[in-house]
Amino acid sequence: MSEYTTSTDVLVVGGGMAGLAGALALRENGANVTLVERAPEFGEVGAGLQMAPNASRVLKRWGLLEKALEVGVQPKHLVFRDATTGEELTRQSLGGEFEERYGAPYVVIHRSDLHRVLLEGCEAAGVKLVNDVMVESSETVDGRGVVHAAAGVDYEADLVIGADGLKSTLRPLVATDEPVSSAYVAYRGTVPVTPETPATDLEDVVVYLGPDCHLVQYPLRKGELLNTVAVFKSPSFERGEEQYGGVDELHAAYKDCVPAVQAALANLGTGIRWPMYDRDPIENWVAGRMVLMGDAAHPMLQYLAQGACQALEDAAVLQDVSTGTVFTADGVNPAAWDEAIVAFNTVRAARTARVQRTARVWGESWHVSGLARTLRNLLFKSRKDNDFQYNDWLYGQTGEGLPAPEAPRLASQLPV
């Protein structure tokens, strides 16, 4: 064992939302968990994040929802508008019946705030967090996972979790695919809410749908900040240019939109552009004692606002499948990981593939023009508030691939 820098029960590669959630989930079950991250510091870039009840239920399970609510906002409605007329197309109330049905609130939160809540959760639970570790490869040796990092540092664990994001280093152990570009680019930004900020929709998540573009706005940090995301199809991507989606294209993309949308472009930071990628779903996430989770396993387009939410679900299911199998009242049984990660893979790959595929189709319906736009608008307008038929499969409390409704909290039951 001494040839390895660290020998641990679980080694998590990647300190984004997925890695932190996975580390916390298994630490809650009583595992010794080490998480390694290539960046010199933990953190998140970007602005806001929508956390639907399927994810806030997971935070509730870990006792972290209150902390998220302290810094987040519970928006009143999710509102869709036509970006070229401003007309309201449909509105979903997010309190009351919605929250009751799904057992947790819809929350919008600054990414860095959610990341910090998870990081502090890991610190408090006793996850060993290590920065400046660039993982290069992983293999399974004598039934244990071995991770090779830069500068010849090696780690050994019963289970290795690859939570290293869209461009995962560990995914090639299970697939030879590449990220798929959607030809869309996002710009994001947050600005303080001032008395001059137009008051309309300030308590809601508002999505303006336009031809080949959309714009999302919602409040953050108790309503002190306004978050704006603009996403448009890049003509220079279609021409095969490498640096596609520049600021000139941003403004051109919204030229036919209502003044409220055009004015909102001023809220965007233009220093970073975010080309939007996903991957085709894959069935197998397991190689020996390595399993993928989060964007490394199932990166998706952001139209359902579910990438991080699905990572939280992953973590909770990983916690469930190892409860009573790997982690039992009699102690830890590492041999049970083989079956547990296959069970995890089976239920989660089916569910996340559906989310990945639906996100693509949902995005297409947002960006149509002409007759398709007329029909889309008619369909949206025919929907009644609190019609849950489009939400239940995604936010519902029970169903295949979802975490168990009751939280297992095993750490206290395990022998010390």
Ligand X SMILES: Cc1cc2nc3c(=O)[nH]c(=O)nc-3n(C[C@H](O)[C@H](O)[C@H](O)COP(=O)(O)OP(=O)(O)OC[C@H]3O[C@@H](n4cnc5c(N)ncnc54)[C@H](O)[C@@H]3O)c2cc1C
Q: Are 188 and 302 in contact (CB under 8 A)?
A: no
Smallest distance from ligand X to CB 82, Å: 21
Q: Tell me the window of 203-211, 306-314, 341-349, 362-370 that interacts with ligand X (CB under 6 A).
A: 306-314
53 near ligand X, judged by CB under 6 A: no
146 near ligand X, judged by CB under 6 A: no
Smallest distance from ligand X to CB 37, Å: 5
| Strand intervals (E) in 279-371 | 286-287, 290-292, 327-328, 331-332
Smallest distance from ligand X to CB 246, Å: 17
Which residue in 169, 182, 227, 356 binds ligand X (CB under 6 A)? Answer: 169
Gyration radius of the chain over CA positions: 22
Residues in contact with 239: Cβ distance below 8 Å, sequence separation at least 6, in sequence order: none
189 near ligand X, judged by CB under 6 A: no
Q: Which residues of 299-338 are buried (b: 16+ CB within 10 A; e: fewer)?
A: bbbbbbbbbbbbbbbbbbbbbbbbbeebbbeeebebebbe
Q: Are 8 and 129 in contact (CB under 8 A)?
A: no
128 near ligand X, judged by CB under 6 A: no
Q: Are 405 and 60 in contact (CB under 8 A)?
A: no
- Beta carbon nearer to ligand X, 14 or 105: 14
104 near ligand X, judged by CB under 6 A: no
Among 293, 316, 309, 308, smallest CA distance to 61 is for 316
56 near ligand X, judged by CB under 6 A: no
72 near ligand X, judged by CB under 6 A: no
- Beta carbon nearer to ligand X, 205 or 332: 205
Give the span between the Cα atoms of 125 and 198, in whole angstroms: 43
Q: Tell me the window of 7-15, 74-82, 119-127, 218-226 that interacts with ligand X (CB under 6 A).
A: 7-15
- Beta carbon nearer to ligand X, 86 or 269: 269
180 near ligand X, judged by CB under 6 A: no
15 near ligand X, judged by CB under 6 A: yes
Which residue in 65, 127, 161, 305 binds ligand X (CB under 6 A)? Answer: 305
Which residue in 71, 134, 180, 411 binds ligand X (CB under 6 A)? Answer: 134
Smallest distance from ligand X to CB 195, Å: 28
Which residue in 258, 264, 309, 318 binds ligand X (CB under 6 A)? Answer: 309
Among 134, 160, 128, 163, smallest CA distance to 145 is for 160
Give the span between the Cα atoms of 240 and 231, in whole angstroms: 19
Residues in contact with 20: Cβ distance below 8 Å, sequence separation at least 6, in sequence order: 35, 115, 118, 119, 121, 122
278 near ligand X, judged by CB under 6 A: no
Q: Which residue has the tokens 């289970």?
A: 159
Q: Which two tokens stand for residue 371?
A: 């007759």
314 near ligand X, judged by CB under 6 A: no
Query: Helix (H, G, I), strand (E, B), or coil: what is residue 217?
Result: strand
Among 49, 7, 46, smallest CA distance to 271 is for 46
Give the span between the Cα atoms of 263 and 281, in whole angstroms: 37
Which residue in 8, 9, 12, 16 binds ligand X (CB under 6 A)? Answer: 16
Percent helix, percent strand, percent coil in the chain, to nearest 5: 35, 25, 35
Which residue in 33, 34, 35, 37 binds ligand X (CB under 6 A)? Answer: 37
Give the span between the Cα atoms of 118 and 35, in whole angstroms: 13
Question: Of these residues, 106, 155, 218, 395, which one is catalytic?
Answer: 218
Which residue in 311, 315, 332, 340 binds ligand X (CB under 6 A)? Answer: 311
302 near ligand X, judged by CB under 6 A: yes
Which residue in 165, 189, 403, 408 binds ligand X (CB under 6 A)? Answer: 165
Query: Helix (H, G, I), strand (E, B), or coil: what is residue 111?
Result: helix
245: left (phi over 0), alpha (psi -120 to 50) or beta: left
Q: How many residues bind ligand X (CB under 6 A)?
A: 33
DSSP 8-state class, residue 223 = G
Active-site residue, 155 included: no
Q: Tell me the window of 79-87, 176-184, 197-205, 302-310 that interacts with ligand X (CB under 6 A).
A: 302-310
Q: Summarize as ranges the residues that interact with ligand X (CB under 6 A).
A: 13-19, 36-39, 49-50, 133-135, 163-166, 169, 186, 229, 274, 294-295, 302, 305-309, 311
- Residues serving a catalytic function are 218
